[in-house]
Amino acid sequence: MSEHDAWLRLALAPGLTTRRRLRLLQLAGGAPQIHPLADKLLPELVRPDALAQARAFFDPDHEQPDVAAALRWLEDPGHSLLTLGEPAYPRALLDLPDPPVLLFAKGNPETLLHFGLAIVGSRNPTPQGVNHAHDFAAELAGRGAVIISGLAAGIDAAAHAGALQAGGLTVAIVGTGLDRVYPAANRDLAHRVAETGLLLSELPLGAPPKAEHFPMRNRLIAALGQGCLVVEATEGSGSLITAKQAADLGREVFAIPGSIHSPLAKGCHWLIKQGAKLVDSVNDISDELAWPVRPQAVIGPAGKVQSGTPVPNEDAQDAVLLQQLGWDPVDLDTLALRSGLTHGRLCEILLGLELQGAVLVLPGGRYQRVANDRVM
């Protein structure tokens, strides 16, 4: 039995929880040593109804299709296993009470050697939330941080994309087997992540996107980052659970505030009340964590590095209207009352501001001002 074969049998054997796999590994003294001791050790750890199947699973004379499929998967370039018994296994996961005994990896495992920051948030963010996730990730990646997230729609995808656009590194921890991509719309993004960074999963190949898989994934995101930034989250969302797990592990938690009227800001505001650090710039994070950073760079349109943040070309009326917009979403009728301008003239000015990137058009015919210094 090869080393990989032994570890795969431990990771995939039926009837065992993650903690019991760890206990079995500890009692046997290593994955290859489990088979000779299986008859003695398994009855104490495996459910009676799964005992016979587990014994057969650890017997090298019984070929296991899932193990054989994983060994074939390992033959492809860029595919690897990170087992608890090897130096490449990320040490940060040992802070968990239940670290996985094995991780499937696609890409460059050395990505895990760099300073990492988790970015999480809503699957249904506002346009401004997407901008925040993308721009913070781009700036942080430009300063040398590895962006860690879960490849989900919304904030996760924006964070991965921001890191890639800045030419930085990113790690995606997924809630399926690595032979699947969920959601399917992120298939191209997943391939781009694997080209320069890393895809990780503790789940076996073929594992579907079941609801119970995502809390498992989230604890890995919380552990791998030296800090966790929450961009947008509703009350009671999975992102808040990830942030709490990060805090419990001694990681710093950061949250971006939003409008008091937005449900997607409620979670961040709750975190701030619980002690998370309010951030409105990347410097708030880098100052708190004090990691060795590259020279500061500002990411402009199309991912180009600029010496300063672009400021809209505003005439006097543009500037006045921006002040009247405030920072909360506002409809056209309200803005007409504030400004005294006709709807036609307002639409002209707002279109110009939208093209300059100073205003976002939201669903329901509402408008919201965008800070010129969104990241810095």
- pTM value surpassing 0.85: no
pLDDT, tens digit, 9 for 90 and up, residues 175-215: 999 999 999 999 999 999 999 999 999 999 999 999 999 99
The set of residues, in sequence order, having a beta carbon less than 8 Å from that of 273 and lying 6+ positions away, is: none
Contact present, 123 and 116 (Cβ < 8 Å): no
The whole-chain average pLDDT of the chain stands at 87
Q: Does domain 316-369 have CATH number 3.40.140.10?
A: no
Bridge partners for 227 per DSSP: 117, 252
Q: What is the b/e burial string over 263-273, where b = at least 16 CB atoms within 10 angstroms of the residue's CB?
A: ebbbbbbbbbe
- Per-residue model confidence as pLDDT tens digits over 116-163: 999 999 999 999 999 999 999 999 999 999 999 999 999 999 999 999
Query: pLDDT digit string (tens) for 268-324?
Result: 999 999 999 999 999 999 889 876 554 433 333 333 333 333 333 345 677 778 877
Q: If one looks up domain 109-306 in CATH, what number appears?
A: 3.40.50.450
Residue 76 has pLDDT above 80, yes or no: yes
Q: Domain boundaries in the chain?
A: 1-75, 109-306, 316-369
Q: What are phi and psi of 161, to 5 degrees?
A: -65, -40
Alpha-carbon distance 284 to 5, whole Å?
Answer: 46
Strand ranges (E), the chain: 79-83, 102-107, 116-120, 146-149, 170-173, 198-201, 227-230, 252-255, 277-278, 298-299, 305-306, 330-331, 359-362, 366-369
Tens of pLDDT, residues 145-158: 999 999 999 999 99
* pLDDT for res 293: 52
